[in-house]
């Protein structure tokens, strides 16, 4: 059994889509990044890579490589899942938290779970996603960005 944790943060800006867990969420701001800037999936990728001692998302998908510009993070997650399986591990579970003042995440979480379980070829009951605010504190509380944390267990 191996445990991994991941964290990611991106700045909220105008003229970008807000994509979390592979879901486009209607909102006036989106996350700035080289790919689609899906902080949730990036944190999950890092937790999986960390548990398998395979580095981090930046090692596998550098933001200096144009082939990853605008790419769907669901594709990155699929790739990471395949790496995990090639190393002989199985994903036991993933637990992740989205930290955002706005918008409300609850209506989108079931679809996020479906997307993640499909990308990793695991059952939905192996994925848990939560969301919280920071009560107006810090950069997420001031709606300047969104962050996500993830922990996973590999068998």
| CATH code of domain 2-154 | 3.30.1330.50
pLDDT digits (tens, 9 = 90+) for 68-124: 898 999 999 999 999 999 999 999 999 999 999 999 999 999 999 999 999 999 999
Binding residues for a divalent metal cation: 8, 10, 42
Q: What is the mean pLDDT of the chain?
A: 96
pLDDT band for position 63 (50/70/90)?
A: confident
Q: Is 52 exposed, middle or buried (0-12, 13-18, 19+ CB in 10 A)?
A: buried
Binding residues: 8-10, 34-35, 42, 56-58, 61-65, 100-106, 132-135, 139, 142
Q: What is the DSSP letter of 15?
A: T
What residue spans define the domains of the chain? 2-154
pTM: 0.96
Question: Is the pLDDT assigned to residue 62 strictly greater than 90?
Answer: no
Nearest CA to 151 among 94, 98, 88? 94
φ, ψ for residue 143, nearest 5 deg: 60, 35
């Amino acid at each position: 059994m191996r445990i991994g944790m991941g964290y990611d943060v991106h700045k909220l800006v105008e003229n970008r889509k807000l994509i979390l867990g592979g879901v486009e969420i209607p909102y006036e701001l989106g996350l700035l990044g080289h790919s689609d800037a899906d902080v949730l999936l990036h944190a999950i990728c890092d937790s999986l890579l960390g548990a398998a001692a395979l580095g981090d998302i930046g090692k596998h998908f550098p933001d200096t490589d144009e082939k990853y510009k605008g790419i769907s993070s669901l594709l990155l997650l699929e790739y990471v899942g395949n790496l995990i399986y090639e190393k002989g591990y199985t994903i036991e579970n993933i637990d992740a938290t989205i930290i955002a003042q706005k918008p409300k995440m609850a209506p989108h979480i079931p679809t996020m779970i479906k997307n993640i379980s499909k990308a990793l070829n695991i059952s939905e009951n192996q994925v848990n996603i939560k969301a919280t605010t920071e009560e107006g504190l810090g950069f997420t509380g001031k709606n300047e960005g969104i962050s996500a944390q993830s922990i996973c267990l590999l068998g």
